[in-house]
Amino acid sequence: MRKKLVMLLMVLTIVLVILGCSTTQFSRVYPHSASVSFPAEGPYEILGRVDYVSTQGSAGYAGLLEHAKTIYPTADDVVNIIVDTEDTYEGSPGLFGVMGSSSTLINSVYTMSGIAIRYIK
């Protein structure tokens, strides 16, 4: 009986160590920034909404405007811009999912959206 109990404890310990060393990937989406205004000066025409998904190195207003010009060739500006971030992490839950847990950021993707406009001259 004692040998069975010792063997059971050893097996449980090995299982807990293996489970504690496993890694998982998870993502978190959250708002990054917003500039939700329209220009006060001059008349303009609203062309439509533009959505642009980029990686961390290519995110920015210039990329959003360039993408807007592919959809609306007469676009002069993009306003009312909202930026969301989706961060992907790789984590190790550690023992019992609490002790020794750690996570590492492996990727960030930015989703930018705004409204393309054309200034009327």
Q: What is the pTM of this model?
A: 0.65
Give the bridge partners for 74, in sequence order.
none
Q: Domain for residue 2, yes or no?
A: no
And the tokens for 1? 């009986």
| pLDDT, tens only, 21-32 | 566 777 778 888
* CA dihedral over 25, 26, 29, 32, signed as positive or negative: negative
Q: Is residue 62 part of a domain?
A: yes
What are the tens digits of pLDDT across the range 40-70? 877 999 999 999 998 666 678 888 999 999 9
Is residue 106, in this structure, part of any structural domain at all?
A: yes
In a domain? residue 83: yes
Given CA atoms 58, 62, 65, 71 in this order, what sign does their dihedral have? negative
What domain range includes position 34? Answer: 23-119
The residues facing 81 across adjacent strands are 35
